[in-house]
Structures are given as C-alpha cells and as structure tokens.
Structure 1
Amino acid sequence: MATTPRRPVSAMDAAEALFKPVKKVVAPAVEKRALPETKELVSIKLDSAVLHYFQDDGPGWQDRINDALRAVVEANPKD
C-alpha cells in the first residue's frame, strides 16, 4: 500500500512547505451595542420631498429628523 509521506522528502518540497501561506482563522464578528442616547452613523434612503422638508429650515436637519422619529417611537412604545 503506497501512501504519501507526511513530511516532504525533497529539499524543494520542504522549502515550499515552509513558505506556503498559512490559513488564518477569522474570529467571529462581535456586535458592539451602542450606549444609550448615543448617536450612530447610519445610511437610510428617504423620499426627496421628506428630505427637502427637513433641509428647508437650514442646518440641524438631521437632528430634526431624529426628533421626528423619536416622537413616533415614544408615541408607539413596544411592549
């Protein structure tokens, strides 16, 4: 029964085995929970009319969108 040796027999095979890239084990991604009342950077798609409505009042439009969404959340609490 012919089996291949576990160790390289020739010097060339030994050298190639030494320089062969090692497969790195990737650690599973850990989801970090945000602190309460901390703003997170997200990307959402909004209708252009909604975006213009909030942007027409000038700077601070992102805070106004956040306040409007917070009012919806407070008006409809999940139990």
Structure 2
Amino acid sequence: MPKRYKKPMTSEEYDQLQDTDIDYSDIPETDKAFWANARIHQPAKKQVVSMRLDQDVIDSFKQGEGKRHTSRMAAVLEAYVKHHKEAG
C-alpha cells in the first residue's frame, strides 16, 4: 500500500486542515448490521492522585500543545507498566 503522505502532519498543518481536504474513501459505510452489534464501552474510572514532580519534567510535558499534559504523563506511565508486564 503506498504512503498517502510524504511526512507526518505538524500541529499547525493539522489545524489548517479543512473537512473537505480529508479523504474518507478507505472508510467503509456503516449499515444497520454495524449499529446492531455496536456496544457502548464505558472507560474505566480513573483515580485522582497527587504527585510531586520536578518542574523541568512538568515543563517538558507542557511543551508543544500545553493542554492535556497530565494525559500525556498518564500515557507514558501506562506504556511503562505495559512494557514491564510484557517483559515479565
């Protein structure tokens, strides 16, 4: 399958993207059978924790978009746990 893009999009390029620029041709139509089998998945409730972190760590996660830095921190921790579970 050939690559559709020469390089990954930057945040700025993504922000400029219009709905009409998006190629939906590889996405199949959803029919009644699809929706008949669809189920609502409730995400696991996340527990609120408090941590003390060095300011440079916080600044590093806030770099770029800034918002949702705690979600990125959680994703890194989740990947760490997954890796160590798989490693045994």
Give TM-score, length-normalised by structure 2: 0.44
Give TM-score, length-normalised by structure 1: 0.49
Q: Kindly name which structure, 1 or 2, has the bigger radius of gyration based on alpha carbons.
A: 1
Structure with higher helix content? 2
